[in-house]
Structure 1
Amino acid sequence: MPPRPVRTASTVALLLATLAALTACGDTGGLRGAGPTPTAISPDKLWPGLPPVSSPAFEIGEVNTEVIKGIAVPGDDIREVDPVAIVRKEVTASPGDYGSDSPYHETGSRMAECGEGAGKGRCPVLQPYYRDLTGDGRDDLTLGFRQLPGKLTAVRVYTVDKHRLTQVMAWEDAMSGVELAGRSVIIRSPSEVAGYEYRLQWTWDRQQKAMLLTHDEMLRTGPRKKTPSPTPTSAPPPSPSPSASGR
C-alpha cells in the first residue's frame, strides 16, 4: 500500500489561500443551495368508514375490444386490409347512427365517395397510420373518420389477433389533435374553459389485450384570450386619404 500524503502546515496555508482567491472571484461553478425544502405531507384518507365496493356504479368502457367479422387479413398483414372497408363495415352495422334519418347520415352517404381510397376527396375516412402499438413486432392500424354532419371524429385502433382483425380501442369526440407516442394514442380535445384542453391517453395493456384509458387530464394551453373592446360608434370613421384610394 502506498504511503499516505503528509499535509504540512505550509501545504494547508497554501490551500486556504487558493480557496480564498477562488471565493473572491465569484461563482466557482459548484453546487448551490436551492433554498429550504418543503415539508413532505402525506395524503389524508377521507371517509375511512365508507363500505367497500367490488364494481363501479357506471360503465366507462375500460376494455373495448371487438373482432371484426367478414374482413380477412391476408398473411396477417394489417396493411393489406382496406381502411375504407373497415369503416364501411361499421357504418353498415349501425343504421341507427348512419342511416338516412340518423345523427351521422352524411357520413353514411359520403362513404360512396371513397372510391379513390381513404383520405382522398370527400371520403370521410381519414388517412390511416401504421405503427406497432402492441409490441408484437407487427404494425397495427390507427384510423379515423369524420362523423358528419358535425365536428366529431371517430378514432379506432385495430390489431391482428389469431389471424382475425380486432378492434382494441374506439373513441369519438371533437378533437384538436391526435398523436401516437410509444404504445399510446393521445387525443386532445377543446375544453369549455378558455385556455385549457382535455388530454386523454390510451396505452396498450398486455393483460387485457386492449388499449386502456390510462390518463385523463385537463391541461393549460395558453393565456386566456381577451375579448377586444368594441370600437366607439359616436364618431364617423375617418375618410380614406387620396394616396390610399388611388392604389
Structure 2
Amino acid sequence: MNAGAAFALSRPLDGPAEVRHAARAGRLRGQTSGLAPGFVQANLAILPSDVAADFLRFCQRNPKPCPLIGMSEPGDPMLPDLGADLDIRTDVPRYRVWRDGELAEEVDDIRDLWRDDLTAFLIGCSFSFEEALLADDVPVRHIAEGRNVPMYRTTIPTAPAGPFHGPLVVSMRPLKAADAIRAVQITSRLPAVHGAPVHLGDPSLIGIRDITAPDYGEAVRVEPDELPVFWACGVTPQSVIAAAKPPFAITHAPGCMLVTDLKNTRLSIL
C-alpha cells in the first residue's frame, strides 16, 4: 500500500470534499475504496472533442461497464452537478496519461495537460455497491485485506462505437455461495454502478487464465469454498483506449477514484 493510501486509512476521510481536498493538496495518492462512506465514487475518462461523441456512444452501448453519471462541458474542468468545488484536474488521487493507446505516465494532477477541447466522462464505480454489500453483511475481501480490488481483462467483447472497441474488464470479489446469491440481489438494484455480476465461477470461461495475477489492482485470497464473482468494471475504458489508440487521453489510475457529492442512496432503482 502506498503512502497516500496509508495516510487515508490512518486518518479517515469521511466527507467527499475532504477526500477531494486531500487529493488536491497531494496528501492522498492511493486508492479510495472505503473513503467518504455514503457518497458516489466515479471512474474517469478524458478525451478530445474529435472523439468525445464516439466515446459517449460507446458508454451508451455498454451501460454495464460504463454507466455514465456525468460529463463536463468541453474545456471546463469543473463539474458542479457532482461537487460544488470539484476540479477534475486536481481532485483524483492519481491520473494516467495515454498517448496513441500507450500508457505514457502517471501523474498527481493534470493542470499542465488540460486543454480547451477536453471533455471529462464520469462513470459509476463498484466502490458504491460495496457499501451496500457491507451493509447487508456480505464480506468484501479486498477491503478486509487493505488491498485494491483485483481487475482482469476478459475475452468478452464490448459493443464498438467509432474507434472505440476492446475487451470487457471485470472486478472480482470472492464469496461463499449464499453470499454470492445475496450479492446478485443487492447489486441488481444498482445499475448506475455496474449492476449484477456478469459471471460467477470458473474464470477461464471468460478468458482469465490466472486469478492470482490480475491485470489491474491486487490479488486477494480465494478460499476453496468460495466462488469468484465478477462484475463489469469502469476500468474497461482503459482497455478500450489501449485498443483504439487515440492520440491523447487521460484516465484515473485503477482504484484512485473521483469522490463526488452524490449520495449512494440515489442510485438504487428500488
Pick the structure with more helix per residue. Answer: 2
- With normalisation by structure 2, the TM-score equals 0.23
- With normalisation by structure 1, the TM-score equals 0.24
